[in-house]
Amino acid sequence: MKLFLDLDGFQPRRFTAVALIAATVALAGCSSTPPTDRSDARDRYEDANRKVFAFNMDVDTYVLEPVASGYRNTVPEGGRTAIDNHLRWASMPSTAINSTLQGKFENATLATLNFLVNGLTLGFADLSEDDQKVDREDFGQTLAAYDVPEGSYLMVPVLGPRTTRSLTGNVVDIVLNPLQIFGTGNTADAVRTAQAPAGAVSFRANNFEAFNDVKYNSLDPYARTRSVYYQTRIGLLEDRVAEGAGSAVSEDEFDSLFEDSN
């Protein structure tokens, strides 16, 4: 069994966890932006976050965007679906654990079955005949279920937007992932090593046009990214995005529509 802090040799997923912790500590050390200078009350470290966002956009321009473009143009649709299936499969143990912690036992069972059945192909093929979809659950959502406050908005280098709570959740998910702890051997290591970059490229490729529109054509790409992140995250916390069962936006948001316009 590998221990998380056993650093004899480079382990990308452990590196990610360490980077996440370092980013949290570094951002916590930043001086907060005065409330009057913030463009959103939730964005306590806005000045520092905007600098990190500019860095992330440079990384995207020079690395991620060209790679994602190449990926879309060269990997056939079947291959892209297989990679998406595998990435989803790899998150099932975490979903099963977090669903259990949140009392969502049906989802935990579905995640476990999905992981076992599709494990025959390392998740590259979806062998499950059940149409019922597994809702992804992470430790950030588990913390939210236990009423842990979401904390500040953080722009994490390379990884993108998070809240303090979701970032903490990411670290715990990496540490607790059974694949991380029990998977051994060269194949397991190779697969693990490829997961993080493959996930980033796949996400960028799947959202290529929408991402580019935010990046190149919006008035304030940083503010738009923050808005999209919060709406998506709220939807996930309320189990709405995956089910398509309603709206992530509170209807109270529209109260001002019906006020006097003067």
Whole-angstrom CA distances from 209 to 68, 69, 140, 180, 212 are: 11, 10, 28, 33, 5
Cα 61 → chain centroid: 20
Q: Contacts with another protein in 158-177 (CB under 8 A)? A: none
Distance CA 185, CA 173 (A): 21
Instruction: Based on the shown chain and the rule CB under 8 A, indicate whether residue 227 belongs to the binding site for another protein.
Output: yes
The correct pick among 19, 194, 208, 237 for binding another protein (CB under 8 A) is 208
Quote the tokens at residue 178: 């059974």
The verdict on 253 binding another protein (CB under 8 A) reads yes
**Shorter beta-carbon distance to another protein: residue 129 or 259:** 259
- Nearest CB to another protein, comparing residues 132 and 187: 132
CB of 242 to another protein, least distance (A): 10
Q: Does 54 sit near another protein (CB under 8 A)?
A: no
Give 39's contacts (C-beta < 8 A, 6+ positions apart): 46, 220, 223
Closest approach, Cβ 36 to another protein, in A, equals 9
Stretch that binds another protein, among 33-41, 148-156, 157-165, 171-179 (CB under 8 A): 33-41
Q: Is 213 in the site for another protein (CB under 8 A)?
A: yes
The answer to whether 244 contacts another protein (rule: CB under 8 A) is yes
Q: Is residue 262 a contact residue for another protein (CB under 8 A)?
A: yes
For 113, counting Cβ atoms within 10 Å of its Cβ (0-12 exposed, 13-18 middle, 19+ buried), the class is: middle
DSSP code of 134? P
Contacts of 35 (CB under 8 A, 6+ apart): 41
- 29 vs 106: CA distance, rounded Å: 41
Residues that bind another protein (rule: CB under 8 A) add up to a total of 38
Regarding 131 and contact with another protein (CB under 8 A), the answer is no
The nearest distance, CB 44 to another protein, in angstroms, is: 14
Q: d(Cα 82, Cα 198) in Å, to the nearest integer? A: 12
Contact track, another protein, 79-108, x by CB under 8 A: ------------------------------
**Tokens matching residue 182:** 């029990």
CA 56, 59, 63, 66 torsion: positive or negative?
positive
Helical packing angle, 208-217 and 186-206, nearest 10°:
60
The single residue among 6, 40, 58, 106 that binds another protein, judged by CB under 8 A, is 40
Residue 38 binding another protein, by CB under 8 A: yes
Q: Kindly list the residues in this chain that would bind another protein in the complex (CB under 8 A).
A: 38-40, 77, 208-209, 212-213, 215-220, 222-224, 226-228, 231-232, 235, 240-241, 244, 246-249, 251, 253-254, 256-258, 261-262
